[in-house]
Structure 1
Amino acid sequence: MAAVTSARPYHVVVFGASGFTGQFVVEEVARCASEGPGGVPLKWAVAGRSRQRLEDVLKQAARRLSMPDLSTDVEIIVADVSIEESLAIMCQQGVVILNCVGPYRFYGEPVVKACVENGAHYVDICGEPQFLERMQLEYHTKALDKGVYVIGSCGFDSIPADLGILYTQRQFKGTLTAVESFLNIRSGPRGSTGHDATWQSAVYGFADSGSLRQLRKKFGHQPLPVIGAKVRRRGFVFFSKEIEQYAIPFMGSDPSVVKRTQRFLHEEEQQSPVQYTAYVGVGGLFSVVKLLCGGLLFWVMVKFSLGRKLLTTFPSFFSFGLFSKAGPTMKQIEDTCFSLAFYGEGYSVGTDPSQGRPDAKICTQVVGAEPGYVATVSAMVQAAVTILNELHSLPRRGGVYTPGAAFYKTSLIERLHNHGIKFSVRKYQ
């Protein structure tokens, strides 16, 4: 594989570079240009449908970073998800393709297919379990045969959760058997706003939740063994003493991704699987009432094509301002940060997990800047840098993996820690 990739002109190609998230990824790649394999500068390119828009993105990134005009040094590749030949040409030129074109359920598979067929590693920031698990089902063997790594959810969904569990396991002295995570997002007076593409992913994901159950049956997995005491699930809405606000189950891809990682580590490394439940803080009572009313309306509307059309046409109205077609302002991004706390329990060294209740606890956390467009792009770029620098540490010789499964033997946690996503042990409260 090294002989093939070393002949390629670019270490990294950012596909969808002119999209809302892609613009931030371009800036992050430019910041990390010194982190190429073997200490050489990264050779990189941007790709998308419009050469003019890509040139504008490069110029904008140079201005924001106070750098020389990037459009004179960074190659532009014109590629479109609807034109297979253009994707093949793009994938033949890059070692790692960073795919920023979503929603992935509509636009992701052609890029995965082109990467596998043309020998390029693939990284995305997808938070859509249906897409992630279907790619594993349909492309794992093909990617393995080609020596290609396809690694999804390398953004805020789900790097902090997946690697946070691995970090917690490593810090725990004994056998960690269960973890609850609590996500808390803090924003300034203007609040925090997500981009329309994320909202669309949620709308169509919830509308198609039935297909996910059918998809999982095709894997034929046996249930993971429950080690130690079985965790009792909390209610749909409850007051969390851990984050001192009301919380609900986290509806994103984190539980799905973590479970896939735990299955991989159990089957491949004979590690004891961890039971995992994820929650997110929603604030005070008024926020709970607003959430319940909005959530009920959302669940009804996603069931019908007209409802989905209205939801995606007017994201700001139906999400109470949480998502918009314009996305967050730079001020909103600067004023927002996240913390993800992990409360784990298990059995101390020498204690038999089959006997009695857990006798040891641990609390860890992952903290970082704004999750959607700062932490996400940092995680995505560091995932690519890790592939370039530590390919020998990834499992087998290729395949479709979660971040935890792909990077559990690499230094990605340390790389993230050095790029603003901090992992630490906290005192258990």
Structure 2
Amino acid sequence: MSLHREPVLFGATGFTGQLTAEYLVEVHKQNVTEEKLTIIWSINETRKENSLLTNFSWALAGRNLGKLEKVRDRLIELDSSLKDLDLIIANTNQPDSLDAVLSQTRVVISTVGPFTLYGTPLVEACLRQKTHYVDITGESPWIKTIIDKYDQQAKDNQVMIVPSCGFDSVPSDLGAYMVSQYMHTHHHLDLASLKMSVTKLKGGFSGGTIQSMMEIIYQQQQQQQLHNDGTKENMNDPYSLATRRGVDKGTLIPKLQRDHDFGHQWQTFFIMSAINEKVVRRSWSIWTDRGQSYGPLFTYQERTSVPHFLVALLLTSAVCTIFPLLTAMARYTPSFFRKLMHWLPGSGDGPTAEQRAKGGFEMQFVGVSESEPYDEAKRIRAIVKGFRDPGYGDTCRMVAESALCIVKSLHQLPGNKGGILTPATAFGQILIDRLTKDQGMVFQVKDL
């Protein structure tokens, strides 16, 4: 494999990995077509550089050559030019194999979960080889672990390690960033509070996602029980991933109340808020460290909008029942909990193509500025939309475009000095521009 093969997609034979590979094919074909048109156009015009259109070369990596070949065969059906696509054998249990791969590329995309089990060796190899890294994890305890262990090393090596580049947590993180930028640019004010509500969500769960969620619960309880290391406190700490503390209290279960800012609908728990809110607060803290804070009093919360009180009550009750029950099982009957994990859908299972095509999401944000006494605060509304299955369509778009930010625009990225970063602090507006190209996603913001 030559050095220009970037990005390398690690975990390409898994459910999300295969779909990410298909998205890269989609981008590759589009870029080739646009480049041909640009060349024709440039015969009579001075060609303008456009990093969004420049083609790229990439490779697939995984543990099993036979499975990788099957994935490539599927991709060749979509684009016959991929018959020479590189296939690379690498295993997280074999550091030498990881080093061999990562020494020859600038950026790797990882879809190999649960990251608590398989993520750390790849991050360590990226730091050894000075290779940038993006993934789709929503596992906040694991992110906390790599921040504590490797953030300074990543900065020293100027390596960008960027977890949570999928539906966890790009829409939330870039949405908050966009609102803050608008508030500063248009009103020259800090952002005091920001709330987000999911107003549309249609998509499925894959076996890998379910297994990752169960693994988080299991590892959290085992660590707490064996080492008494404060894991529970870290999980409940709204600033567990941040570099500094703010004023947010971070409540998990919302009050059952209507919110006129979101169509006067009932607000209830959003399952992704446990990771998204922490990622947004880490972004706030990193931007503050850089002297570009959202605001010293910044608070953030996420909810889901539902039209009926009974639906809100049912969802809230389920959260208050199911998660404590699973936590108790993981702590007091770990062997049974492991059996339960085996009974649930495993990696490789997920929504069908027809189901994914019907997916989509919409998130609405309402931000309020800081204000002097007797001054009226400025209020801003933002909308982030996706038009594919959030977990297995738009997630693939988001993680692939995150990697392509590094491939195409490394020197313009706000996070190019390295560290364990967030999507907003790593990529900022450049990722928004890539995601909104050709209306692939929508990021809109305006005054209320």
Question: What's the TM-score once normalised by structure 1's chain length?
Answer: 0.84
Write the distance in 2 (CA, Å) between the matches of 1:279 and 1:194.
19
**Alpha-carbon distance in structure 1 between the residues aligned to 2:169 and 2:318:** 27
Structure 2 counterpart of 1:27, from 22, 30, 54: 22
Show structure 1 runs of 5+ residues with no match: 1-6, 317-322
Q: 1:387 aligns with which of 386, 399, 406?
A: 406
Deviations 1:168-198 (A, max 9, x none): 11223232210010123443xxxx4201221
Q: Does 2:120 correspond to 1:109?
A: yes
The letter for the 1-side match of 2:299 is Q
Deviation of the 1:391 alpha carbon: 1.3
RMSD over aligned Cα, in angstroms? 3.0
Contact 1:137/1:219, CA 8 A, preserved across alignment:
no
Distance 1:387 1:358, change over 3 A: farther
2:208 match: secondary structure: helix
Q: Which residue of 2 aligns with 1:266?
A: 288
2:350 equivalent to 1:339: no
Tell me, yes or no, if the aligned pair for 1:246 and 1:282 is still in contact at 8 Å: yes
SS of the residue corresponding to residue 300 of structure 2 reads: strand
Match of 2:71 among 25, 43, 57: 57
Q: What aligned pairs does 1:153-192 form with structure 2 within 5 A after superposition? A: 153-172=164-183, 173=187, 174-187=189-202, 192=203
Q: Higher helix share goes to which structure?
A: 2
- Do 1:301 and 1:311's aligned partners in 2 also have CA atoms closer than 8 Å? no
Q: Is the 8 A contact 1:247 1:283 kept in 2?
A: no
Q: TM-score, normalised by structure 2?
A: 0.81
Note closer, same or farther for the CA distance 1:137–1:41 as it changes in structure 2 (3 Å cut). same
Percent identity over paired residues = 27
**Which residue among 283, 295, 308 is the counterpart of 2:337?**
308
Query: Taking structure 1 as reference, are residues 393 and 310 closer, same or farther at Cα in structure 2, changes over 3 Å only?
Result: same
CA distance in 2, matches of 1:247, 1:340: 14
Alignment gaps of 5+ in structure 2: 33-49, 222-229
State the match for 2:268 in structure 1. 247
Question: Is 1:315–1:325's contact at 8 Å kept on the other side of the alignment?
Answer: no
Q: Could you tell me how far 1:362 is from its partner in structure 2?
A: 1.1
1:213 maps to which residue? 233
Q: Is the 8 A contact 2:144 2:240 kept in 1?
A: no
Choose which of 47, 55, 80 in structure 2 pairs with 1:68.
Answer: 80
Cα distance change of structure 1 residues 219 and 100 upon mapping to structure 2, 3 Å threshold: closer
Question: One-letter code of the match for 2:303?
Answer: Y
Alignment check: 8 A CA contact 1:344 1:361 kept: yes
Report the count of equivalent residues. 399
Are the aligned partners of 2:169 and 2:276 in contact in 1 as well (CA < 8 Å)?
Answer: yes
Distance 2:196 2:95 in 1: 41
Alpha-carbon distance in structure 1 between the residues aligned to 2:339 and 2:258: 34
- 1:392 is aligned with what amino acid? H
Q: CA deviation digits over 1:64-97, x for unaligned, max 9?
A: x3x2162x22100011111111111111121110
**How far apart are the structure 1 equivalents of 2:336 and 2:314?**
22
Q: Would the aligned equivalents of 1:15 and 1:47 in 2 still touch at CA under 8 Å?
A: yes
Equivalence for 1:279: 303
Structure 1 residues 375-395: Cα deviation after superposition (integer angstroms, max 9, x where no partner): 111111111111122211333
Alignment match, 1:3: none
Q: Do the aligned residues in 2 keep the contact of 1:236 with 1:249 (CA within 8 Å)? A: no
Q: Are 1:185 and 1:336, in contact at CA under 8 Å, matched by a contact in 2? A: no
Structure 2 residue matching 1:411: 3-state secondary structure: helix
- For 2:7, what is the secondary structure of its paired residue? strand
Following TM superposition, by how much is the alpha carbon of 1:206 offset from its aligned partner in structure 2, in angstroms? Answer: 3.4
> Partners of 1:157 and 1:247 in 2: how far apart?
18
* 1:359 aligned residue: 377
Deviates more, 1:166-175 or 1:32-41: 32-41
CA contact (8 A) 2:269 2:316 kept: no
1:368 pairs, out of 386, 391, 394, with: 386
Deviations along 1:331-366, whole A, 9 cap, x unmatched?
A: 11111110111011114xxx53xx368622111110
* Residue in structure 1 matched with residue 350 of structure 2 by the alignment: 327
Q: Deviations over 1:113-133 (max 9, x none)?
A: 011101211010111111112
Mapped partners of 1:252, 1:232: distance in 2 = 9
Relative to 1, partners in 2 of residues 1:306 and 1:246: Cα closer, same or farther, differing over 3 Å? Answer: farther
Instruction: State the shift of 1:283 in Å.
Output: 6.2
